[in-house]
Amino acid sequence: MIRLRDITKAYPTQHGGLPVLKGVNLHVKEGEFAAILGPSGSGKSTLLHVLGMIHEPTQGEVWINGVNTTTLNDHERSRLRGRLLGFVFQSFHLIDRLTIVENAALPLFYQGFSPAERQARAEECLKRVGLGHRLGHYPSQLSGGESQRTAIARALSGNPRVILADEPTGNLDHKTGLEILALLRELHAQGRTIVVITHDEKMAAQMPRRIRIADGRIVEDNGAEVVA
């Protein structure tokens, strides 16, 4: 589903480039549930952004669903991202002036769905994550767990094949974090590919595949391909 080949990523500075990813090779197969694990500053969030075509690599190739995305223009990458990927972030990124239905429907606006279709699909996704009783509410009226469930519903609204989650339990208490992890497991059981960025060893231990990154390099991967 996703393959990175010899990925480097450097951010410009006054004194040249600041290397964050250094020759990363990674293959995530369809249907996997994987954790990318590492301390703050290890490059794990940058790796997720490259996986999700949010940031372009400095060098290397990003293949998604058989397409070399580094050969696409911005519009083509946006279309592919909207069709295949859903994102969940630590800070929820909900828009306060919109109801949770309107928040969950946002990706569908950019994909050209009609207002009625957006409404119906957003409500369906919110009900799937246990928020059917909150449809008329605004983000300020939600708990942290409900906010993250809304963010997951937004990620699901476009029916993506892959969900990329960056520290999805980082702003939640332990009990609520376990509930969000259980929801991600449920989505994986339904056939979605899930990649979670985390620094939490206990959370990562509950995922079948664990990829450890340090100083911009993958240093451990219990699901790495063996090349003969």
pLDDT digits (tens, 9 = 90+) for 68-93: 999 999 989 988 998 899 999 888 89
Place of tokens 């451990």: 220
Specify if 226 maps to a domain. Answer: no
**Number of C-beta neighbours around residue 90 at 10 A:** 18
Specify if 107 maps to a domain. Answer: yes
Specify if 31 maps to a domain. Answer: yes
Specify if 227 maps to a domain. Answer: no
The pLDDT confidence band at residue 17, using thresholds 50, 70 and 90, is confident
Specify if 29 maps to a domain. Answer: yes
Say which residues have a Cβ less than 8 Å from residue 42's Cβ, sequence separation at least 6. 213, 214, 215, 216
Number of domains in the chain: 1
Specify the pTM: 0.88
Specify if 228 maps to a domain. Answer: no
The pLDDT confidence band at residue 162, using thresholds 50, 70 and 90, is very high
φ and ψ at 206, to 5 degrees? -90, 5
Give the orientation angle of helix 144-156 with respect to helix 174-189, to 10 degrees: 20
The pLDDT confidence band at residue 225, using thresholds 50, 70 and 90, is low
Place of tokens 């990925």: 7
Specify if 96 maps to a domain. Answer: yes
CATH of residue 110: 3.40.50.300
Structure tokens at 34: 């994987």
φ and ψ at 18, to 5 degrees? -100, 105
Q: Is the dihedral of CA 211, 212, 217, 218 positive or negative?
A: negative
Residue 190, pLDDT > 50, answer yes
Place of tokens 């972030």: 89
Specify if 116 maps to a domain. Answer: yes
**Number of C-beta neighbours around residue 197 at 10 A:** 27
Which H or E run includes 193?
Answer: strand 193-198
pLDDT digits (tens, 9 = 90+) for 127-155: 989 999 999 999 999 999 999 999 999 99
Provide the domain limits for residue 125: 2-221
Residue 228, pLDDT > 70, answer no
Strand partners, 173: none
The pLDDT, as a whole number, for residue 6 is 96
